[in-house]
Amino acid sequence: MNYRYVIRELGLVMIVLCLCMVAVMGFAAWNWSGGNEDERMAVLALVMSAVVGAVAGLFCWLFGNRSGKDYLGRREALLLVALTWLIGAAVAALPYFAWAWMEDEILTNHAFSSFVSCYFESMSGLTTTGATVLGDIEGIPKGLLLWRALTHWLGGLGIVMLFVAVLPTLGVGGKKLFQVETPGPKHDGGVRPRIADTARTLWLIYMGLTIAAILSLRLTGAMGWFDSVCHAFSMVSTGGLSTRDASIGYYDSVAVDMVCMVFMLLAGVNFALFYTLARGKFVNVFRDTELRVYIVLKIVVTIFVAFNLLGQPIISTGGRVIEQAHAGQALQFSAFQTVALHTGTGFVTADYDPWPFLSRVLLIGLMFIGGCAGSTAGGIKVIRFWVALKVMASEMEKIFRPNVVRPMKVGKSVVDNETAASAVVYFLAILVLFAIGAFLIGEFEGRAGRPDFQTAMSASVSTLCNVGPGLHGVGPTMNYGWFSPGSLTVMSLLMLLGRLEVFTILVLLLPRFWRSD
């Protein structure tokens, strides 16, 4: 294992993060000069954090740079990825902590006074989860809110780069999964130019989506530029952090809802498909089985939930009370919540916690499934879910026809046994981690009375699948600020595990991984 190289690259990541902080600091300073006194502390916090982070990053870079070898193997790549999120979240948490530390006199018991909570918030940002410890989001300076949104955007970009450009080229992890239907870009030449080429195209796609999202949100007229930018960052990364306590429900606008749905939907699609589209291969995209299942799932659940809500009361997170929802309202709120939770964005327009049991269960089910592979969405991923269903069907057929061998197909491609087994194992691993997570959260909270199972379970699935809100104690109108440090640490780990596709992190626990051979 080439540790020095890993540390050098990690140093670079930290420096990049700090440069981003400086950019956000520029915005905060401009805001402050415009007469907004609240921003003063945000500017200070961002400067201090950027300096501390950059010094640490530089130290890492210099230490690592003494190594002459410039080789990134599979194991180095895996370690680097894990450390990027683990250490990156610590660096990204500095501004929150520094701010609360300086505002000490006017804040009492603020969530950001604890570093564990700050770490949770920045991990939630970088993993594009969107769970927040903040009860009063609107009381935070705009500079910090922009930083929060930017962590989403950076995290989302990192994930797309990683899972579409880097890892498949290295032959790590999800490779086979992407090649089921949407063969990734293939060029001649070595690994590095290939990665660079793919990365450039993905970067352009991601930027394009972001700009389109900002403009669309601004054009609805309901949002100012600041809110548009923050929510756009949050949407294209399927993050979910908002600048408002009531999330998207604050705007109470059908136009905003529609724009959000379109961009959340797009952000949950495999970015390799956009890549294919950019290469002009339209037919391949519409034949994509994962995309079809992804859309059909949404339509079916939306209709179910809408029927379920018909004539029921709906309370928007903005406080509007609908006594008896008519068809249009039921459809509007059901479609928004379905898209927001399935893609793992976690925006909310209505308090779905008191919705009928069936609706809640379907929404939780979609959280588990998540968006498409190669997107910024979390969860098991549609393609794995689909393959697992196919494996079950074939397992059943084997019972009464043990001698019939039928190749398993997704669309027109044959799925080999290894890929199928991988998908099923991943599904199982998510369920097991979910159970362990729910148990640990319940155990940590249980010390203060009996654990609330619904809260513990939904907090576990919501963080593991990078969604954000859950049910009950972590419902749409609640936040994660009340959890004990133990639970927050567990959930930070769950977010990381879910984000980096579980085994990419778990592999670090294998002794064999560390043995040099």
Query: Site residues (CB under 8 A) for its own copies?
Result: 74-75, 78, 171-173, 357-358, 361, 388, 391-393, 395-402, 417-418, 420-422, 424-429, 431, 439, 442-443, 446, 451, 453-454, 457, 503-504, 506-507, 510, 512-513
Structure tokens at 341: 């939770």
Q: Are 468 and 436 in contact (CB under 8 A)?
A: no
Q: How far is the CB of 128 from its own copies (least distance, A)?
A: 22
CA–CA distance, 32 with 12 (Å, rounded to integer): 30
Question: In angstroms, what CA-CA distances link 97 with 25, 155, 237, 245, 503?
Answer: 15, 20, 24, 20, 31
| Element of type H or E holding 410 | strand 408-410
- Closer CB to its own copies, 256 or 502, in the complex: 502
Closer of 318 and 356 to its own copies (Cβ): 356
410 DSSP β-pair partners? 413
Q: How far apart are CA 211 and CA 43, in angstroms?
A: 26
Residue 191 beta carbon to its own copies: minimum distance, rounded to whole angstroms:
14
SS3 (DSSP) at 332:
helix
Question: Of 162 and 259, which has the nearer Cβ to its own copies?
Answer: 162
Query: Shortest distance, CB of residue 512 to its own copies, whole angstroms?
Result: 7
CB of 367 to its own copies, least distance (A): 13
DSSP-assigned letters across all residues of 349-380: SB--TTS-HHHHHHHHHHHHH-S-TTSS--SS
Q: Which is nearer to its own copies, 225 or 453 (CB)?
A: 453
Q: How far apart are CA 147 and CA 143, in angstroms?
A: 6
Given the complex with its own copies, which of 97 and 427 has the nearer CB atom? 427
- Please answer whether residues 267 and 237 qualify as being in contact, where contact means their C-beta atoms are separated by less than 8 angstroms: yes
Structure tokens at 294: 């992804």
Give the 3-state secondary structure of residue 322.
strand
Least distance (Å) from its own copies to the CB of residue 388? 7
Minimum CB separation of residue 400 from its own copies in Å reads 5
Q: Which is nearer to its own copies, 55 or 432 (CB)?
A: 432
Minimum gap (Å) between residue 73 Cβ and its own copies: 9
Angle at 329 between CA 323 and CA 335, to 5 degrees: 130
Q: Which residues pair with residue 415 across a beta bridge? A: 408
Residue 254: in which H helix or E strand, if any? helix 254-267
CA–CA distance, 144 with 122 (Å, rounded to integer): 11
Q: Select 136 or 397, whichever has its Cβ closest to its own copies.
A: 397
CB of 172 to its own copies, least distance (A): 6
Is 307 or 439 the residue whose CB approaches its own copies more closely? Answer: 439
